[in-house]
Structure 1
Amino acid sequence: MIREESRKIIEQYVEAYNSFDIEGMVNLLHEDIVFQNFSGGEMNVETKGIQPFRELAQQSTAMFSSRRQKITHFENADDKIAVHVDYEAIVAIDLPNGLKAGDKIELKGTSLFQMEHGRIIRIEDHS
């Protein structure tokens, strides 16, 4: 069973993410946060620590004019919490992967969260 406290922290994190509230996101993280992004089964981004995470989050805000993760459901995944999301975003700038400003991205993904001492210590985004 997922602890209510952990669920609320994750919901606050997603709300801050959707609002481009970087400090709101960072305030929920453990100082040793590890963030990894996987696309098609391959890791394409990794940060370790608060400052590298903050820098990545600031860079990503410039890439999207809007973005929204909608949590569809939570489930236990070993020592992590799997959060299934529907994701939508509008690209703000032309990107190296061929997406152009104004393009819409829609996908389903799963984020794995690990908690330590009431803070998020690990996030793995899978799409």
Structure 2
Amino acid sequence: MLAHLDENVQFENIANGEVNLHLEGKEAIRQQAEQAKGYFSERCQTITSFKHENDKIIALTDIS
């Protein structure tokens, strides 16, 4: 999951128009993934769109 991420990656989770999680750095994302893996026995994440803005990529996803 982390192999292709830049060390300075940033992640934001936005639900109902509000940012409820902001992570900076590959290690922060690894820690969050380790913590969250126990919440789900099964999960599906579908990328619905990509948007390129200067030096960043925004990926919108649906998670079920």
The TM-score normalised by the length of structure 1 is: 0.42
Aligned-pair distance for 1:87?
A: 2.7
User: Structure 2: which 5+ runs fail to align?
Assistant: none
How far residue 81 of structure 1 moved from its aligned partner, in angstroms, is: 4.8
Looking at structure 2, the residues matched to 52 and 81 of structure 1 have their Cα atoms a distance apart, in angstroms, of: 18
Alignment of 1:62 onto 2:38:
yes
CA deviations 1:11-57 (Å, max 9, x no partner) are xxxxxxxxxxxxxx111100001111111111111111111110001
Equivalent position to 2:9, from 13, 21, 33: 33
Identity percentage over the alignment? 33
Bigger RCO (CA 8 Å, 6+ sep):
1
Alpha-carbon distance in 2 for matches of 1:58, 1:31? 17
More strand by share: 1
What SS class does the counterpart of residue 30 from structure 1 fall into? coil
Return the structure number with greater helix share.
1
- Go from structure 1 to structure 2 and tell me whether the alpha carbon gap of 1:64 and 1:47 turns closer, same or farther (over 3 Å shift): same
Q: Name the CA shift for 1:33/1:43 in 2 (closer, same or farther; >3 Å).
A: same
> How far is 1:74 from its partner?
3.6
Determine helix, strand or coil for the equivalent of 2:38: helix
Structure 2 residue identity aligned to 1:49 = G
Query: 5+ unaligned residues in a row in structure 1: which ranges?
Result: 1-24, 89-127
**When the two structures are aligned, how many residues end up with a matched partner?**
61
1:65 partner amino acid? S
Task: Determine which structure has more spread, i.e. the larger CA radius of gyration.
Answer: 1
Work out the CA distance in 1 between the residues paired with 2:59 and 2:28: 23
